[in-house]
Structure 1
């Protein structure tokens, strides 16, 4: 089976609890801990820096590294990108789908 080209996002506390089982699925090449969806599903809407969220994100990062998968991080600022790379990220997402909404409306590409 070929590896996935886009690792699935861990957006729910159950995904964090079951991260080892998820990472063991044949064909996956990792998981991305979703830094905005995960806090919302943990009851910390808009609080990606909440200690419990950060603990969950670090747990996922450690498990991903233990399996030998690359770390993928979200970095919407240059500073966050530098931190993510220093923490071992080898791929960065530099935006979110919700960030393109206003631009698409301006150029009439929303549908």
Structure 2
């Protein structure tokens, strides 16, 4: 992730949960909080309800890769926590990418007018 760091400390996650704004869709919940820096920080959470370790790490990798490929379209200076829901345990990369971009649109944290979804070649407009 070129322009981003990762959230690692529990206190940082708790701060975003308590003070950030959240939106959800079928597969993900996204919390966003401004961090007053030039970089974004991304945290990913997948509880044991999602599945075993293999499934949880696969979901985290899908979220991280979707974010990495589109990180240039996100506004900077944000702490972003993505919580994977149980229903996401067997979805494809394309569905994960679409879900992440949908939540970015709801949060108004995309900084360009037209985005090409790399996996489906669809144009998403804000």
TM-score by length of 1: 0.32
Task: Report 1 or 2 for greater relative contact order, CA contacts < 8 Å, sequence distance ≥ 6.
Answer: 2
TM-score by length of 2: 0.29
Whose helix proportion is higher, 1 or 2?
Answer: 1
Which protein shows a greater Rg? 1
Whose strand proportion is higher, 1 or 2?
Answer: 2
